[in-house]
């Protein structure tokens, strides 16, 4: 049996938090660190930690990016790293779904995400 999960069946949640690490301790360029720290006072995306969660049915997986700097959410989503995080989360989700159906004793030959 093949299982196909439609991308529209997967809920995505993007969460941002104040970064655990300061720009000054994470960046070698002191001027850039000062600029980012000043911007972060009024723009959470300027220096943040990002968590991406994907959920299918009862199965949730998480990918995490720490100490990053973006102008806004659109800037983050335009960055190739977002696509990489999404792919990594989807791979993990497929692994978890596969393990779940195997524990149920179902004869599944493949699990895939389709558009």
Domain boundaries defined on the chain: 2-114
Q: Output the pLDDT for position 107.
A: 86
Among residues 12, 16, 15, the alpha carbon closest in space to that of 90 is found at 12
Q: Which pTM value belongs to this model?
A: 0.87
pLDDT in tens, 48-104: 999 999 999 999 999 999 999 999 999 999 999 999 999 999 999 999 999 999 999
Q: Output the pLDDT for position 81.
A: 95
Q: How far apart are CA 80 and CA 30, in angstroms?
A: 26
What are the start-end ranges of the E strands in 1-115? 2-6, 11-18, 48-56, 59-68, 110-114
Q: How far apart are CA 32 and CA 28, in angstroms?
A: 8
pLDDT at 41 over 90: no
């Amino acid at each position: 049996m093949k299982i196909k999960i439609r991308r529209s069946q997967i809920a995505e949640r993007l969460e941002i938090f104040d970064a655990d690490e300061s720009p000054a301790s994470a960046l070698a360029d002191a001027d850039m660190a000062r600029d980012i720290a000043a911007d972060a006072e009024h723009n959470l995306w300027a220096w943040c930690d990002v968590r991406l969660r994907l959920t299918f049915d009862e199965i949730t997986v998480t990918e995490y990016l720490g100490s990053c700097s973006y102008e806004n959410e659109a800037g983050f989503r335009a960055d190739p790293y977002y696509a990489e995080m999404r792919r990594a989360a989807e791979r993990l989700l497929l692994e978890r779904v596969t393990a779940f159906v195997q524990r149920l004793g179902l004869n599944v030959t493949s699990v895939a995400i389709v558009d």
